[in-house]
Amino acid sequence: MRPPFTVRFAPILGLLLALVPPLRSQAQSPRVVLRDSLRPAPSHHEIEEEVLVTATRTNSRIENLPTRVEVLGPEEMEEESSIKPASIASLFGDIAGTQIQPTSPTTGNLDLRLQGLPGQYTQILRDGVPLYGGFAGSFGLLTVPPLDLKQVELIKGSNSTLYGGGAIAGLVNLVSKTPTPGTPQYAASLNQTTLRETDLNGFAARRGARWGYSVFVGLVSQKEKDVDGDGFVDVPRVRNLNLHPRLFFYPNAHSQVALGYTGTVESRRAGDAQVLKNGPDAATGHLFYVDNTSLRNTADLVYTNDELAGGRLTIKAVVTDFVRDVSTNSDAFTAYQTTYYTEASYLHAAGARHTIVLGLNANGEQLASFNRSATPLRSPYSYHALGAFVQDDWCLLPRLSLQAGLRLDHHNQYGSFLLPRLALLYRASGAVTARLNGGLGYRAPVPYINSLDERDYPLIRPLQGVSAETSLGVNGDVNYQHTFLGFDEPLVVNVNQSFFYTRLGNPLVLDGLGFAGPFGANFLTWQNAAAPLSTRGLETYVRLRADETELYLGYVFTDARRQYDAVNQHLPLAARHKFAAMGLVEFSDHFSAGLEASYIGQQYLADGRLTPGYPLFAALLRYHAGPWTVALNGENLLDYRQTRQEKVVQTPLGSPIFSQLWAPVEGRVFNVSVTWRWTRS
User: Got the DSSP string for 504-544?
Assistant: EES-EEEET--SSS-TT-S-BEEEE-SS-EEEEEEEEEEEE
Look at the alpha carbons of 665, 109, 471, 170 in this order and tell me if their dihedral is positive or negative. Answer: positive
Average confidence (pLDDT) over 561-579? 92
- Tens of pLDDT, residue by residue over 43-81, are 333 445 577 888 777 777 777 788 888 888 888 888 888
Confidence category of residue 517, pLDDT binned at 50, 70, 90: very low
Nearest Cα residue to 343 out of 385, 392, 382: 385
Distance of CA 408 to CAs 239, 388, 467, 580, Å? 42, 5, 17, 39
Q: Does 680 score more than 50 pLDDT? A: yes
Average confidence (pLDDT) over 295-321? 93
- Of 192-201, 348-357, 613-622, 626-635, the one with minimum mean pLDDT is 348-357
For residue 557, what pLDDT is reported?
Answer: 95
| Helices first, then strands: H and E counts in the chain | 4, 36
Average confidence (pLDDT) over 591-614? 93
Domain boundary assignment for the chain: 5-679
- Tens of pLDDT, residue by residue over 131-190, are 776 666 656 666 788 999 999 998 888 887 878 888 899 888 999 999 999 899 999 999
pTM of the model: 0.88
Instruction: Give the rounded percent of residues in the chain with a pLDDT score beyond 70.
Output: 88
Average pLDDT, the chain: 85
For residue 282, what pLDDT is reported?
Answer: 87
Measure the CA–CA gap between 644 and 634, rounded to whole angstroms. 20
For residue 11, what pLDDT is reported?
Answer: 38
Secondary element (H or E) of residue 405: strand 400-411
For residue 40, what pLDDT is reported?
Answer: 36
- Tens of pLDDT, residue by residue over 244-275, are 999 999 999 999 999 999 999 999 999 999 99
Determine if the peptide bond prior to 652 is cis (ω within 30°).
yes
Confidence category of residue 32, pLDDT binned at 50, 70, 90: very low
- Tens of pLDDT, residue by residue over 439-448, are 999 999 988 8
Measure the CA–CA gap between 539 and 554, rounded to whole angstroms. 8
For residue 157, what pLDDT is reported?
Answer: 85
Q: What is the CATH number of domain 5-679?
A: 2.40.170.20
Confidence category of residue 511, pLDDT binned at 50, 70, 90: confident
- Give the type of residue at 33: V
- Tens of pLDDT, residue by residue over 519-539, are 444 688 899 999 999 999 999
